[in-house]
Amino acid sequence: MLTFALIGAGRIGNVHAANVAGHPGARLGVVVDPVPGAAERLAEPFGARSSTDISAAFADDIDAVIVGSPTPFHVDHILAAVSAGKAVLVEKPVDLDLARVDECIATVGADASRVMVGFNRRFDPGVNELITRAKNGDVGPVRQLTIISRDPAAPPLSYVAQSGGIFRDMAIHDLDLARAVLGDFVEVEALGQRSDPALEEFGDFDGAVTTLRTADGAIATIINSRFCATGYDQRLEAFGALGSLETANHRETSVVFNSQAGSTSRQYQNFFLTRYAAAYRAELDHFIASIEAGTAPQPNLHDGRAALLLADAATESATSGVRVALNDNTVGAGARA
């Protein structure tokens, strides 16, 4: 039985609090949030303590800390938790600055084996099955990986301004999944699209097509959009000589209405917390099981760094218009072409 502290009582904090409370192997010890009342409101129905003081998250009875604070605080909270001897589950991204991630990894050192990065989509039952079967060779070596990933609606410009851009904020999930299936890439190229001219001010895009190549010649293609009228469009397809594996979108219900106008299914699930509800539960499961067993949970800080490196390279390519070579995308800074 692990006792958890939760840092951050926002939208994602609510998901983690309920999952911890409903998990047979976990107890919610404390919720911490600097906003007056926020932690208390979240903690109370689950019988947990609450505090506005971050140090409450590192109390003696706490075994593990979920870092759900705003991105700029992630590294500080990871380091404080690790230094207090706690296991850590940190929301993605680790940080928007690769140098700061490198610093974090260096400081954490061997304790990195008790730090997990919350790339939740890997734990979606369908995505997880696709990754597992692809790596198991069901389609032969994967030659073409196609990821379509579209959000229901663009975030406000105020969010965009500090998001790190479409590649670091949104595509980073897909870059992580591409790595989960194909491993490391040697080359990245991205085309950006701008439907909303207001994005020009931030040098950001609301659409993108990214291609990545491995040393073996496998190609991943990622198609992103910040908006999608039908909902949250999330599909993967891994293709090889023996066949292909694909996941489908989840719809609001399975109901189909057949009429003179044809047959109409419901929209794709419209909200990431609904679409990936099972993924968040499975992610927590894996974290708890790993920590209890003394094994290192995956994905870890190195995976967080590698995805950020790819997002940086994609940003550079979309901006400069050239392919970016990645000489070493898992250990050191990538040298660019």
The contact set with its own copies (CB under 8 A) reads 18, 21-22, 24, 45, 47, 125-126, 129-130, 133, 138-139, 143-144, 146, 148, 150, 189, 191, 193-195, 207, 209, 211, 213, 217-219, 221, 223, 225, 227-230, 239, 241-268, 321-323
> Which one, 179 or 250, has the nearer CB to its own copies?
250
> Which one, 36 or 47, has the nearer CB to its own copies?
47
Please confirm whether the linkage preceding 299 is cis (ω < 30° from 0): yes
Considering the complex, what minimum distance in angstroms separates the CB of residue 211 from its own copies? 6
> Which one, 138 or 285, has the nearer CB to its own copies?
138
Considering the complex, what minimum distance in angstroms separates the CB of residue 240 from its own copies? 8
Considering the complex, what minimum distance in angstroms separates the CB of residue 81 from its own copies? 25
Considering the complex, what minimum distance in angstroms separates the CB of residue 101 from its own copies? 29
Is residue 33 classed as helix, strand or coil in its secondary structure? Answer: coil
Torsion angle of the four alpha carbons 203, 205, 211, 213, in this order, in degrees rounded to the nearest 10: 40
Considering the complex, what minimum distance in angstroms separates the CB of residue 35 from its own copies? 19
> Which one, 56 or 142, has the nearer CB to its own copies?
142
Alpha helix stretches (DSSP H) within the chain: 11-22, 38-43, 74-83, 98-108, 125-135, 157-161, 166, 172-182, 272-275, 277-293, 301-320
HEC letters along 176-239? HHHHHHHCCCCEEEEEEECCCHHHHHHCCCCEEEEEEECCCCCEEEEEEECCCCCCCEEEEEEE
> Which one, 124 or 176, has the nearer CB to its own copies?
124
3-state helix, strand, coil in the chain (%, to 5): 40, 25, 35
> Which one, 90 or 310, has the nearer CB to its own copies?
310
Contacts of 116 (CB under 8 A, 6+ apart): 87, 88, 89, 90, 286, 287, 290, 297, 298, 299, 300
Considering the complex, what minimum distance in angstroms separates the CB of residue 60 from its own copies? 21
